[in-house]
Amino acid sequence: MKFLIIEDDEGVAVSLKKTLKMKGYDSEIAKNGKRGLELSKKNNYSLIILDMILPFYQGKAILKKIRETNNTTPVLILSCITDTDTKVDLLDLGADDYLNKPFSFKELLARVKAILRRPSKIKKQKFKSGDLVIDQEKFNVSYRGNLIKLTKKEFDLLNYLIKNQDKVISRNELLENIWDINADPFSNTIEAHVRSLRRKLGEDCRDLIKTIPGRGYIFELRK
């Protein structure tokens, strides 16, 4: 399992590589956006850790180019930007998660573990809600035959809500099952992912995921 770290701060990049190595993850470092993009096209990685502010190419542009080539490698964004709209834009472009700077390596390792973790005991079947089809075997979602591109985290979130359809799921339950038990309960990552997911589902389907104030979220299946 090999990671790509695209980070121009040498101290941060080296520390990341050493920390990941201690946990058994090998890493390669790219110190600018141009080199990072080249390596992402040339090699197969299990995870790309991408800084937002880089020489030559900015992180957002790199992420867009990676996804335009149908590269589905998970991408963890490192960013000083904390506003929800920016995070939603990154999710729409295909980011799997983001970590605000400055960060603790303990939290980073928890995020990495959560991204790499595969959904457990997923039954190979399809769920239908009206014209919306969720294929758990192929890990894709379509509406009226048109594929909806979701990140792994968005698919896991939708899949979990569907498997627990008509049941209110709390934020804490989502954090523990879709993210990681060590995830920050005070962050707005769930809200940002739900917002992005609704946007991608479109006007006809976004109301399937309802917010229950003070309690969590519920997926209401259409017949």
Lowest mean pLDDT among 32-36, 71-75, 162-166: 162-166
Sheet holding 146-148, edge to edge: 126-129, 132-135, 140-143, 146-148
| pLDDT at position 120 | 40
Binned at pLDDT 50, 70 and 90, residue 127 comes out as confident
pLDDT tens, position by position, 130-182: 888 888 777 889 988 899 999 888 998 998 888 888 789 998 888 877 876 55
Q: Which residue has the tokens 């960013």?
A: 79
104 has pLDDT over 80: yes
Q: Which two tokens stand for residue 176?
A: 């523990």
For tokens 């049941």, what's the residue?
Answer: 167
Which range among 18-32, 84-98, 114-128, 182-196 shows the weakest confidence by mean pLDDT? Answer: 114-128
The confidence band for 47, taking pLDDT boundaries of 50, 70 and 90, is: very high
Supply the pLDDT for residue 121: 40
Q: How far apart are CA 88 and CA 79, in angstroms?
A: 13
- Is the pLDDT confidence value at 109 over 60? yes
Q: What is the mean pLDDT of residues 96-117?
A: 89
Share of the chain above pLDDT 90, in %: 43
Give the mean pLDDT of the chain: 86
Q: What phi and psi values does residue 144 have, to the nearest 5 degrees?
A: 55, 40
Does position 54 have pLDDT exceeding 90, yes or no?
yes
> How many residues are present in the chain?
223
Under 8 Å between Cβ of 59 and 33:
yes
Q: What is the pLDDT of residues 3-27, one digit of tens each?
A: 999 999 999 999 999 999 999 999 9
Sketch out the chain's domains with CATH numbers.
Answer: 2-116 (3.40.50.2300), 126-219 (1.10.10.10)
Q: How far is CA 61 from the centre of its chain?
A: 17
Give 221's pLDDT tier (boundaries 50, 70, 90): confident
Residue type for 124, please?
A: K
pLDDT number for residue 122: 42
**pLDDT higher than 80, residue 70:** no
